[in-house]
Amino acid sequence: MKIHWLLVVGLTLCLASCQQPQPVANYHPVHHKKSNPPKAVIVAHDSTRDTLCIAAVGDIMLGSSYPDNSKLPPDSAKDSFKPVLKYLDKADIVFGNLEGTLLDSGTPASYKKKLETAYLFRMPTHYGQVLKDAGFNLLSIANNHITDFDTAGSISTTKTLDSYGIHYAGLESCPTTIFVRNGVKYGFCAFAPNAHTVPLLDLRNSRRIIRELKKECDILIVSFHGGAEGPLYEHIPFKMESYLNGKRGDVHVFAHSAIDAGADIVLGNGPHVSRAMEQYKGRLIAYSLGNFCTYRSVSVAGVCGMAPLLKVNLNKKGEFLNGNIISFRQTHENGLVRDTLNRVVKRIKLLTEKDFPISGLDIDDDGLLTPSN
């Protein structure tokens, strides 16, 4: 049977339109500098989907080359995210906190030289390819380790992320970023109580940044690095937290302030343990996503080794629809592995029930998140 030539042409055009263009490898996003208005950059194809998926994890630190290479993974970190790849491939946004610098050589910032080298994080710049290959397209660099190697470390980190087309924000020099993915314009900003980062403790300034950024985007993602660190600090104290004589923010007040100012989702990190979640004004807050992929130099004992992967579905207004917590855990011997016992789900559920008796969320034992009736 002969097929009419018009039908052949039509089928060919249909198939071509379904093919997704590949992102540009050496793509440079435009950041919202203090002196310049934010600009949008298209990085992917348009989509008519009504639901947006954000995958988010906590701290990422793929080993340190300081003071020598003994603290780098033997496979150059290539398989660091292998157990999670199948959970990330359909997310519009894949987010994490980059806990350290991407820098090939250099000495620590002067004020750090007398500290233990175990807590100075210098990842080789080619590890940017590992992050890219895993699907990460958005990172916070607002934390206490971005300045481990002074301005050389932060400059190398931002240049490296630019070269791999990974969006980021959180430094005073790059407080926000805007980009378009799948037809949706996203804004992102990040805050921390550390030098050269956008200050977490200045609520008036953070509200201003969030309000202005929201005017320029459809969906606004806000991250913060705050709260005391370690297993003793899983619970939210609902007051200003301090750690090692430094103020680490009132994370509850900050998160609510961020949503009041226009944030559509708030993702916390910093305590190295997971914390509770809450729905506030139809928006999701994850107060800490703990450690996720932190090779060797960060403790993964007990609750510090619980590694949640949070997947959240939003509508195009930024309203929380539902989500899922997928349980992983870390050991120094095996790295990141799937936890079929769902320990971190159970932990976050317990913390949420204790800290927020009326959280606006239901979390079941399999990790399904839904709004409370």
Say what the pLDDT of residue 49 is.
72
C-alpha distances (whole Å) from 24 to each of 27, 41, 42, 94, 348 are: 5, 12, 10, 17, 37
**Residue 3: is its pLDDT beyond 90?**
no
**Residue 245: is its pLDDT beyond 50?**
yes
Reported as type and span, the H/E element at residue 29 is none
Of all residues in the chain, what percent carry a pLDDT higher than 70? 85
pLDDT digits 0-9 by tens, 41-88: 433 434 457 899 999 999 999 999 999 999 999 999 999 999 999 999
Say what the pLDDT of residue 47 is.
45
Grade residue 270 by pLDDT with cuts at 50, 70 and 90.
Answer: very high
Which stretches of 141-234 are assigned E, i.e. beta strand?
167-169, 176-181, 184-191, 219-225
Six token digits for residue 128: 């940017």
In three-state secondary structure terms, 140 is strand
Say what the pLDDT of residue 115 is.
58
Residues 6+ apart with CB under 8 A from 280: 255, 256, 259, 360
Say what the pLDDT of residue 373 is.
74
Mean pLDDT, to the nearest integer, of 83-112?
92
Mean pLDDT, to the nearest integer, of 196-215?
98
Say what the pLDDT of residue 112 is.
55
pTM: 0.88
In three-state secondary structure terms, 45 is coil
Six token digits for residue 210: 């969030």
Q: Of 14, 121, 114, 142, which Cα lies nearest the Cα of 63?
A: 121
| C-alpha to C-alpha distance for 259 and 266, rounded to whole angstroms | 8
pLDDT digits 0-9 by tens, 115-169: 556 689 999 999 999 999 999 999 999 999 999 999 999 999 999 999 999 999 9
| C-alpha to C-alpha distance for 80 and 83, rounded to whole angstroms | 8
CATH of 25-371, one of 3.40.50.720, 3.40.50.11890, 3.60.21.10, 3.20.180.10: 3.60.21.10
Say what the pLDDT of residue 208 is.
98
Grade residue 309 by pLDDT with cuts at 50, 70 and 90.
Answer: very high
List, in sequence order, the alpha helices (H) in 181-331.
Answer: 203-214, 251-261
Low-confidence winner among 109-118, 170-179, 258-267 (lowest mean pLDDT): 109-118
CB 49 within 8 A of CB 314: no
Neighbours of 115 (CB within 10 A): 12
**Residue 365: is its pLDDT beyond 80?**
yes
pLDDT digits 0-9 by tens, 19-39: 333 333 333 344 554 434 344
Average pLDDT of the chain is: 89
Domain assignments of the chain as residue spans, ordered by start? 25-371
- With vertex at residue 287, the alpha carbon angle to CA 284 and CA 289, rounded to the nearest 5 degrees, is 100
